[in-house]
């Protein structure tokens, strides 16, 4: 074994393990050492499961040895021996699932999420659960009850949220892949802030079974990797119909990884004028336009388009998502599971458990959602928001009659300082202004690095595609990354 194994791509890890250049145990230990070296500065994890990971690595080594002896090395699962991390909003049997909240405390999940089970069946080894904004409600991973995660590119800055722990873990090379969730940008925004690739698939493409609900009509599970090719491999394993989730789609799942190479000379890329507005950091606007010109040089056709109802996405989201959250979070009452406060009456216990267990941002969104759903206001707020959501969805449908993918910024700024938006919820909400529409429309989106700003912070670009056409997104990202090196840049930790 030579070199730093944590710097390898997933494909290089696969090849090295199959060639016997290093063992699963050596690969795991390299990542665990990386975690121990950096975790005090990054705080990407809530829970580490080193001993169970070591046991699984030994089992994987045995499988590799047996396959080598039997000449069946090519029959082994795709991710055998590959370390991964899972956002602590997703259940893994017998592991704590806190959702970044005191209200759940030490709750141990009794089952494993379908998508995670598919990764385990493919041989992946879970090393831990990553930090998250409380119940995924945040854009900076600062609302976690366990403290904030810090950006590996600059530890005075946030990694984005709510899947900031997963993004930071991949950016810092603690793991080659981490799983997150995206309700309004919670994979794509931290991917942009941390300089990694993050895929939010179409709504229904990956089962939500085992993903603790925030906004049930908006939530999607996805992955952080260093490249579009690696993300394609992961989505191909995680995606597909699941009888445990009525919202999972019975739609064919392509072999994304095998079909990732293509000629993009006939690719039509739409550039929405509504996404290049005043207030965007100038370096982001310039860098995104340069990336679009790179696509033009590769033969793609660039088409200016309009998504006219984009300006309504933010208020629509902050009516629909909190409304769904207020219903989903009603179950945390101190009776069925999680922590329990007070020994007084049941009503006292209910109020004290929720009052002490939930943090300020979660309380804010529960109150917003409850108000929007209350008698006398439902039609004026929630009902009206759903009508405008339909208009936003129709904007995308009309745009995709003209173009194959839509290119735009992921965020209006690069990673901001820890605490910078602490007293200004609206400023925090505006960080997701370019990512919310994809969730409202149910279409896939992928974020990937396209440059650095003057302070050496990553800048990400977003591509959005037709529903269930993740394949074209992966092909477009792969083509860009085959001709540039931005995805290979790493923080100087």
471 is catalytic: no
CB count in 10 Å sphere of residue 376: 6
User: CA torsion angle for 431, 433, 439, 443 (degrees, to 10)?
Assistant: -120
Longest dimension (CA), the chain: 71
| From 98, 140, 162, 227, the catalytic residue | 162
Place of tokens 């005090």: 40
Sign of CA dihedral 207, 210, 216, 219: negative
Secondary structure of residue 151 in the 3-state scheme: strand
Report which of 145, 133, 229 is spatially closest to residue 181, judged by C-alpha positions.
Answer: 133
- In the sheet that holds 177-182, the strands lie side by side as 45-48, 125-130, 83-87, 177-182, 220-225, 197-200, 445-452, 458-465, 405-409, 268-272, 301-305
Please give the Cα distance from 127 to 28 (Å, whole number): 8
| From 87, 129, 466, 471, the catalytic residue | 87
Please give the Cα distance from 446 to 471 (Å, whole number): 11
Alpha helices in 281-399 (DSSP H): 282-297, 313-328, 346-357, 360-373, 384-399
Tell me the CA end-to-end span of the chain in Å, nearest whole number.
23
* DSSP codes joined into one string, 107-146: PBPSS--HHHHHHHHTT-EEEEEE--SGGG--SSS-S-TT
Are 155 and 41 in contact by the 8 Å Cβ rule? The answer is yes
CB count in 10 Å sphere of residue 85: 29
Please give the Cα distance from 209 to 115 (Å, whole number): 8
Are 198 and 159 in contact by the 8 Å Cβ rule? The answer is no
Please give the Cα distance from 379 to 281 (Å, whole number): 37
Structure tokens at 368: 């917003």
Report which of 301, 358, 356 is spatially closest to residue 325, judged by C-alpha positions.
Answer: 358
Residue 255 vs residues 112, 237, 385, 471: alpha-carbon distances, Å: 24, 9, 37, 8
CB count in 10 Å sphere of residue 350: 17
Are 41 and 208 in contact by the 8 Å Cβ rule? The answer is no
Residue 462 vs residues 185, 283, 473, 477, 489: alpha-carbon distances, Å: 11, 15, 10, 10, 18
Are 244 and 207 in contact by the 8 Å Cβ rule? The answer is yes
186 is catalytic: yes
| From 98, 139, 166, 186, the catalytic residue | 186
Residues annotated as catalytic are 87, 162, 186
């Amino acid at each position: 074994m030579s070199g730093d194994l944590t710097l390898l791509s997933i494909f290089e890890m696969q090849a090295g393990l199959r060639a016997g250049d290093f063992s699963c145990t050596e690969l795991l230990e390299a990542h665990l050492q990386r975690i121990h070296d950096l975790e005090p500065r990054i705080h990407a994890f809530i829970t580490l499961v080193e001993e169970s990971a070591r046991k699984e690595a030994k089992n994987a080594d045995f499988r590799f040895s047996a396959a080598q002896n039997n000449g069946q090395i090519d029959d082994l699962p795709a991710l055998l021996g590959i370390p991964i991390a899972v956002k602590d909003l997703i259940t893994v049997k017998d592991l704590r699932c806190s959702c970044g909240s005191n209200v759940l405390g030490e709750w141990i999940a009794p089952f494993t999420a379908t998508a995670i089970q598919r990764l385990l069946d493919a041989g992946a080894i879970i090393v831990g659960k990553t930090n998250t904004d409380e119940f995924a409600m945040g854009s900076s991973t600062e609302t976690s009850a366990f403290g904030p995660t810090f950006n590996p590119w600059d530890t005075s800055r946030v990694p984005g949220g709510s899947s900031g722990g997963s993004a930071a873990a991949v950016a810092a090379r603690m793991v080659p892949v981490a799983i997150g969730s995206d309700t309004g940008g919670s994979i794509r925004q931290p991917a942009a802030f941390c300089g990694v690739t993050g895929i939010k698939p179409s709504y229904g493409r990956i089962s939500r079974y085992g993903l603790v609900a925030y906004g049930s009509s908006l939530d999607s599970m996805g992955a952080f990797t260093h490249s579009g090719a690696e993300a394609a491999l992961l989505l191909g394993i995680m995606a597909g119909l699941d009888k445990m989730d009525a919202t999972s789609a019975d739609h064919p799942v392509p072999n994304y990884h095998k079909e990732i190479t293509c000629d993009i000379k006939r690719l039509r890329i739409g550039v929405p004028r509504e996404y290049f507005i005043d207030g965007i950091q100038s370096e982001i606007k310039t860098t995104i336009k340069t990336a679009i010109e790179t696509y033009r040089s590769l033969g793609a056709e660039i088409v200016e388009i309009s998504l006219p109802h984009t300006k309504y996405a933010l208020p629509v989201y902050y009516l629909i998502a909190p409304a769904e959250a207020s219903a989903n979070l009603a179950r945390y009452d101190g009776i069925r599971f999680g922590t329990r406060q007070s020994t007084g009456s049941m009503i006292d216990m209910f109020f004290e458990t929720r009052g002490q267990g939930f943090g300020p941002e979660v309380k804010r969104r529960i109150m917003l959602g409850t108000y929007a759903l209350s008698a006398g206001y439902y039609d004026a707020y929630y009902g009206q928001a759903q009508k405008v959501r339909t208009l936003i969805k129709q904007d995308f449908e009309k745009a995709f009659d003209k173009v194959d993918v839509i290119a735009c910024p992921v965020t209006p700024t690069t990673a901001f300082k820890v605490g910078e938006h602490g007293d200004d919820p609206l400023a925090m909400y505006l960080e997701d202004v370019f990512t919310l529409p994809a969730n409202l429309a149910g279409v896939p989106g992928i974020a990937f690095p396209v440059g650095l700003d003057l302070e050496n912070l990553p800048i990400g670009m977003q591509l959005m595609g037709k529903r269930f056409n993740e394949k074209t997104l992966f092909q477009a990202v792969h083509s860009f990354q085959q001709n540039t090196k931005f995805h290979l840049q790493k923080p100087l930790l």
